[in-house]
Structure 1
Amino acid sequence: METTDAFIGLTCVDCDGTFDAEVETHRCPDCDSILDPDYDYDAIDLSRSDLESRRFDTMWKYEELLPFTRESSISMDEGATPLVECPNLAEEMGVGRVLLKDEGRNPTGTFKDRGQTMAVTAAAQHGATDVALASAGNAGQAAAAYAARAGLQSHVFLPTRAGFTNKAMVNVHGGDMKVVEGRIGDAGAAYADAMEDEDWYSVKTFVTPYRHEGKKTMLYEIAEQMDWEVPDAIVYPTGGGVGLVGMHKAAKEFRELGLTDDLPAMYAAQSSGCAPIVKAWEEGKDVHEAWETPDTICGGIEIPDPGASPMILDALRESDGGAVATSDEDILDSAVAVAQQEGLEMGATCAAAASGAWELAQQGEFDEDDTVVLLNTGAGNKDDDVLRSHLMGMGV
């Protein structure tokens, strides 16, 4: 494998076992828990001026803190997305600044590209010929795209409710798509059944160790874009929580390396129709209970049984953050408000971050001089039918 100098292998988040990344490819062989890439941070000599001297072109500018070299990556120049000032939202929320990290500018239109560039790079380096996953939509599209880039076959299991754009582009990228009746859990079950009979390399959330590792680069970029200050709060639309876990890890890495001084408070934003993280947070639990009857139009965050909930809840506690749930109506209203007040296009699911931030502001969670970053995890045109239908329902 073509790995970076400081990458030393994989560590289990539960049993603390350490493993050779050339040998172990997915879950912990001892306890079947999540494996996390680990580094010798003492071997990393990286300064602010080093990073500033490099072009802000892709997430791979931070390769010393990633498992694989930039040269060996399966990349389409993902990352390096803008951090856009939103003065109207800041005034409405009563805070100093609101900034929107616009992940809709990635190659397939969502932040899933950051995870899939890493996961498919791992698959290619392990000699895989086929990759597979179950997805609510965007991750499947991204996997198909990066698999095509790598010359691999992709097998994507999507629920019927996945968006037309996702389904169409999996086909366009040459993916083998299985559309499964029902919701994400049904797609996941069909994927699991298929994996019993096939030797496919999984690029599924927290099955591969590498998707959250790619998404941590969002925090690196935010810190650099803010001149090495971290925001007071980051509000993240949370389903499986991959990006939230990754960004919290990145914040700790930058602090350990002396590149930043503080940790941003991480906030998980969910729909009230499927809010297992919020419920666990409010009850002071270390792990969630599965949400019995998920009911939200926000398919990307409709994850009733997030397997990494202990990592998510740890991140919220360690960063002095929190969790918030708002209704689908408020989420869609927020997407429209951001579009009409700032001109920025948030995906319907992604707007849980904006809706959650408004609710947190009303609860007095933010101070008047705080800087709040909203993660827009995908482009608005992924959900244009949902947003337009919402407007029509309002009589617009």
Structure 2
Amino acid sequence: MDQSDAFRALRCTATGEELAADPTRTGPSEAGAPVDPVYDVDAVDWDHAFLADARSVWDFADLLPFESGVSAAEGGTPLVDAPALADELGVDSLFVKDEGRNPTGTVLDRGLSLAVTAAVDAGADLVAHASAGNSGQSGAAYAGRASLRSYAFVPSRAPFPNKAMTNVHGGDMRVAGGRYPDAVEALQTQLKSDWFTLQEFDNPVRHEGYKTIAYELVGEGCVPDAVFVPASTGEVVYGLVKGFRELDELGLVDDLPRVVAAQPTGCAPIAAAFDSGREVEAWNQPDTIVGELEIPDPTGGDLVVDAVDATGGRVVTVDDDAILGSAVAAAQTTAVDVGSAGGAAAAAADALADEFDEDATLVVVNTEAGVKTADILRSHLMGQGI
């Protein structure tokens, strides 16, 4: 795979030390921190017309590590107007960026497209990672497209559709009893073959895919007052903020929108760190029905704290009932297939609605298709006697 002309280096996110521009490098820096691709933004000639014409992740390859990659037409997802939700929140406009329209129904397709591209560039035969569910299916799909063998280690709590479709896409799915950390441990102890990692942040290019959400929003003429995103591992939030920062460097936005990360009350290590001013610490006894967000020790946690703070945003917590209620309300009023993780973003917007003027524009990122967690959403309705 040819590298893009603007890709200059990898940078340690802790020390700022620059490393060689090797997109196949894996693992943290010597300081134990994630590494982050760096670009010569001045070498990129983008304008608003270019952003408006882009239709997929790889149309933005100028600011990605590779000129092209393993793709299934990910990105280019719709920005759906949600006037009923805007009225309920008392703001002028609310839009849902519907990432459930990606090839495997998740925002993670943007990142796994790049991660698998790096694996191909490295000459890998086998790729693997631990997943809460969605990335397992996504990784299997992109690995299959690239004719690579793949393993996904998932917790027993992962939704059945993700487990099933991981196998359908040709991946080898291994279930670890318990939660996400148990899947991570199982990957590290049980897989004996040589494998190329697709793990968030261990793979240094995966989070780059999520920058393209910011590019698409601005390309559609939407520079919102705030963007609400479920936090999970931190990769989507961090990538999104990085995208807005690059657009700011290019002079294509005047100000960074506030980015608000959402976590469930029962598993909120990033929110706790943001509120306390301390580094992210592992969450004891995680307990949320939203498996994609039950990440007790997110690798990108500290990066998220710094990223959202730089936008004037913050990290908020919402309880499971509010998450599921918001997902259902959004689905019933917008026709968008909102998943439970996306419901966390919608619930956060509802919780902070009073902080915005009546002329504000908000964007909620729905990170997964509702069909992936249909049983959870339906159970919520049944609990209300519906």
Normalised by the length of structure 2, the TM-score is: 0.97
* Structure 1 residue aligned with 2:231: 238
* Structure 2 residue aligned with 1:22: 22
State which of 58, 64, 67 in structure 1 corresponds to 2:65: 67
Structure 1 Cα separation of the partners of residues 338 and 264 of structure 2: 15
Distance 1:29 1:330, change over 3 A: closer
Structure 2 Cα separation of the partners of residues 135 and 50 of structure 1: 35
Kindly indicate whether residue 98 of structure 2 is the aligned counterpart of residue 102 of structure 1. yes
User: What does 1:147-186 align with in structure 2 at a 5 Å threshold?
Assistant: 147-186=143-182
Structure 1 Cα separation of the partners of residues 312 and 43 of structure 2: 29
* Structure 2 residue aligned with 1:380: 370
Distance 1:276 1:29, change over 3 A: closer
Kindly indicate whether residue 69 of structure 2 is the aligned counterpart of residue 76 of structure 1. no
User: What does 1:64-143 align with in structure 2 at a 5 Å threshold?
Assistant: 64-70=62-68, 73-143=69-139
Kindly indicate whether residue 381 of structure 2 is the aligned counterpart of residue 391 of structure 1. yes
* Structure 2 residue aligned with 1:335: 327
Q: Which runs of 4+ in 1 moved over 4 A?
A: none
Alpha-carbon deviations, 1:222-267, whole Å to 9, x = none? 1111x2x511100101111111100111101001011111101010
Distance 1:49 1:350, change over 3 A: closer
* Structure 1 residue aligned with 2:183: 187
Preserved contact between residue 107 and residue 113 of structure 1 (Cα < 8 Å): yes
Distance 1:57 1:394, change over 3 A: same
Distance 1:12 1:109, change over 3 A: same
TM-aligned CA deviation for residue 32 of structure 1? 3.0
Kindly indicate whether residue 270 of structure 2 is the aligned counterpart of residue 277 of structure 1. yes
Structure 2 Cα separation of the partners of residues 380 and 29 of structure 1: 37
Structure 1 Cα separation of the partners of residues 303 and 283 of structure 2: 18
Kindly indicate whether residue 28 of structure 2 is the aligned counterpart of residue 36 of structure 1. no
Q: Secondary structure at the match of 2:352?
A: helix
Distance 1:57 1:42, change over 3 A: closer
Q: Secondary structure at the match of 1:270?
A: strand
TM-aligned CA deviation for residue 24 of structure 1? 5.6
State which of 197, 201, 208 in structure 1 corresponds to 2:196: 201
Structure 2 Cα separation of the partners of residues 22 and 340 of structure 1: 46
Unaligned segments of structure 1, at least 5 residues: none
State which of 294, 305, 316 in structure 2 corresponds to 1:302: 294
Alpha-carbon deviations, 1:99-130, whole Å to 9, x = none? 00000000000001000000000100011111
TM-aligned CA deviation for residue 47 of structure 1? 1.9
Preserved contact between residue 7 and residue 21 of structure 2 (Cα < 8 Å): no
Structure 2 Cα separation of the partners of residues 330 and 28 of structure 1: 36
Structure 2 Cα separation of the partners of residues 222 and 84 of structure 1: 11
Preserved contact between residue 133 and residue 204 of structure 1 (Cα < 8 Å): yes
Structure 2 Cα separation of the partners of residues 29 and 284 of structure 1: 24
Of the structure 1 ranges 231-240 and 40-49, higher mean CA displacement relative to structure 2 is found in 40-49
Alpha-carbon deviations, 1:200-231, whole Å to 9, x = none? 00001111011110111011101111x2x511
Kindly indicate whether residue 314 of structure 2 is the aligned counterpart of residue 319 of structure 1. no
Structure 2 Cα separation of the partners of residues 149 and 346 of structure 1: 27
Preserved contact between residue 138 and residue 166 of structure 1 (Cα < 8 Å): yes
Q: Secondary structure at the match of 1:349?
A: helix
TM-aligned CA deviation for residue 345 of structure 1? 1.7
TM-aligned CA deviation for residue 9 of structure 1? 2.3
Unaligned segments of structure 2, at least 5 residues: none
Alpha-carbon deviations, 1:289-333, whole Å to 9, x = none? 211010000000111111222210111210001121111011111
Structure 2 Cα separation of the partners of residues 171 and 63 of structure 1: 30
Structure 2 Cα separation of the partners of residues 268 and 113 of structure 1: 20
Query: What root-mean-square deviation, in Å, do the aligned CA atoms of Structure 1 and Structure 2 show?
Result: 1.3
Kindly indicate whether residue 360 of structure 2 is the aligned counterpart of residue 370 of structure 1. yes
* Structure 2 residue aligned with 1:255: 248
Q: Secondary structure at the match of 1:15?
A: coil
Q: Secondary structure at the match of 1:249?
A: helix
- Counterpart AA for 2:162: N
Preserved contact between residue 51 and residue 61 of structure 1 (Cα < 8 Å): no
Structure 1 Cα separation of the partners of residues 92 and 204 of structure 2: 37
Structure 1 Cα separation of the partners of residues 114 and 145 of structure 2: 13
Q: Secondary structure at the match of 1:336?
A: helix
